[in-house]
Amino acid sequence: MSPRELRATTGLAAIYGVRMAGLFMVLPVFMLHADRIPGATPLLMGLALGIYGLTQAILQIPFGLLSDRVGRKPLILAGLLLFVAGSLVAALAETIHGIILGRALQGAGAVAAVILALTADLVGEERRMRALAAIGLTIGLTFTAAMALGPLVDRAAGLEGVFGLSALLGLVAIVILFLWVPSPDRVRRHPDMVPVWSALPRVLRAPDLLRLNLGIFVLHLVLAANFLVIPVLLLETLALPGASHWKFYVPVLLAGFVLMLPGIIFGERRRRVHAVLRAAILLLAGVQVLLALLVLDGGGLWTLGALMILFFAAFNLLEAGLPSLVARVAPVAHKGTAMGGFATAQFLGIFAGGMLGGALLTVAGPVGVFLAGVPLLLLWWWGARGMQPRYRSNRVLALPAHWSGREAELLRLIAHWPGVHEAELSPDAGSLYLKVEPGGPDTPELAAWLARPPSR
């Protein structure tokens, strides 16, 4: 990468990370305060935990589309200011209703799609996958760090301190945005990164994408519902003080990550990603059943730790594998729209998990919360049987100026290349989007061919 692209990548990854840390830190500690928040009920606690997913789901696609008109940085600034405002509202709230409002405002700062669009503006097509990988790695590291940091901040400053630190992180992100991240020379539409309204009907009707959207919805529903139970289980049933919960979460998360790696490697090398992911769904369903039995039988801390390692191994495997399947099955020029629908389903799952978990805590207790995810996971596993994703790769190449006005000719010529399955052009983005069969032409070969002026 050039120095400018490196600044863009590190800065945008940092903004994504510090914002997500502010959302994640509350997960391991929020339910520990249920008996101290005026007006709190299990249902309202679940709503407070998950409502940021609802506002995020509603606003993330409009934010991404609006940034094409008003610019990336102004939209990211607006989103971060909403996040800071929501964090402060939640920190100063005196009742559960104030916290719900604050969490809704936190989610309303839905800048994920805009950050991806700015990444595409600032990083060339040939290096863009590296930038996206850096952002993805940042999210994973942020989740682990936030799960450790949340209990420590809660011990030192309480729930108000957790939300206050979230506000501070949002301000840090604003500083990074304007002092470190470069400004793009031109804002372009990037249909491979940002949703396009006209493509939504086609993408939302695609059977394989519907299966994947169902999957990410169920996965995050189960995650959100579980965290209405796990912190209280650690505190009240297993007698682990809240300030020590980080000692449980960090090794569990790290072990789950390590345990995930063989599945990812096996799936990619043997081209069995889909089979590995279906096995992970069954593992997740089994863990939910065993967690319910642990509550009934009064299992110990080591048993819960082993189950949570398996939970996070399966969760991380699915969290990493599902987006790659979306990229493989989505229309090549509408990957941004497919990913937008996928992310919307993910955030709706968080909201549904908070609501369903909170409601079930009232009527069925922790056992009901754990078991509720089992039929949904089995439904997902059954629905995923019909998917047979092809192992095609996506390529994005810059479109040289000498092809301007000859786009139809270019598409006709590129269609004859062996191994090219699909080709689309975006003159506004100045990009050629390809879906290539295994063994098809590689990126340098295609780029060299594009660089040669066409014969007249």
What pLDDT digit, counting tens, does each position of 53-90 carry?
999 999 988 888 888 788 899 999 999 999 999 999 99
Residues 238 and 296 reside in one and the same domain: yes
Residues 271 and 140 reside in one and the same domain: no
User: For residue 456, what pLDDT is reported?
Assistant: 58
Residues 385 and 418 reside in one and the same domain: no
Over residues 16-30, the mean pLDDT reads: 90
pLDDT mean across residues, the chain? 88
Range of the domain at 174: 1-193
Q: Does 456 reside within a domain? A: no
User: For residue 219, what pLDDT is reported?
Assistant: 96
User: For residue 369, what pLDDT is reported?
Assistant: 96
Is residue 432 within 8 Å of 399, Cβ to Cβ?
Answer: yes
Is the pLDDT at 180 greater than 70? The verdict is yes
Residues 364 and 436 reside in one and the same domain: no
Residues 244 and 109 reside in one and the same domain: no
Instruction: Tell which of 354, 374, 391 closes a domain.
Output: 391
Residues 296 and 199 reside in one and the same domain: yes
User: For residue 426, what pLDDT is reported?
Assistant: 74
When mean pLDDT is compared across 154-163, 345-354, 412-421, the lowest value belongs to: 412-421
Over residues 226-241, the mean pLDDT reads: 92
Is the pLDDT at 431 greater than 90? The verdict is no
Residues 80 and 135 reside in one and the same domain: yes
Residues 335 and 442 reside in one and the same domain: no
Residues 234 and 332 reside in one and the same domain: yes
Residues 366 and 445 reside in one and the same domain: no
Q: Does 2 reside within a domain? A: yes
Which CATH number does the domain housing residue 339 bear? 1.20.1250.20
Instruction: Tell which of 355, 375, 391 closes a domain.
Output: 391
Q: Where do we find the tokens 């996040």?
A: 83
Is the pLDDT at 126 greater than 70? The verdict is no
Between CA 385 and CA 132 the distance in angstroms is 29
Is residue 244 within 8 Å of 151, Cβ to Cβ?
Answer: yes
Over residues 143-150, the mean pLDDT reads: 89
Residues 201 and 85 reside in one and the same domain: no
Residue 94 CA: distances (Å) to CA of 104, 150, 159: 16, 20, 11
When mean pLDDT is compared across 13-27, 52-66, 414-428, the lowest value belongs to: 414-428
Q: Does 205 reside within a domain? A: yes
Q: Does 342 reside within a domain? A: yes
* Count of domains observed in the chain: 3
**How far, in whole angstroms, is CA 288 from its chain's centroid?**
22
Residues 286 and 303 reside in one and the same domain: yes
Q: Does 435 reside within a domain? A: yes
User: For residue 19, what pLDDT is reported?
Assistant: 87
Confidence class for position 401, pLDDT limits 50, 70, 90? confident
Percent of the chain with pLDDT over 90: 50
Is the pLDDT at 166 greater than 90? The verdict is yes
Is the pLDDT at 429 greater than 70? The verdict is no
Token pair, residue 221, equals 């529903």
Percent of the chain with pLDDT over 70: 98
Q: What pLDDT digit, counting tens, does each position of 303-350 carry?
A: 999 999 999 999 989 988 888 888 788 877 778 888 888 889 999 999
Q: Does 102 reside within a domain? A: yes
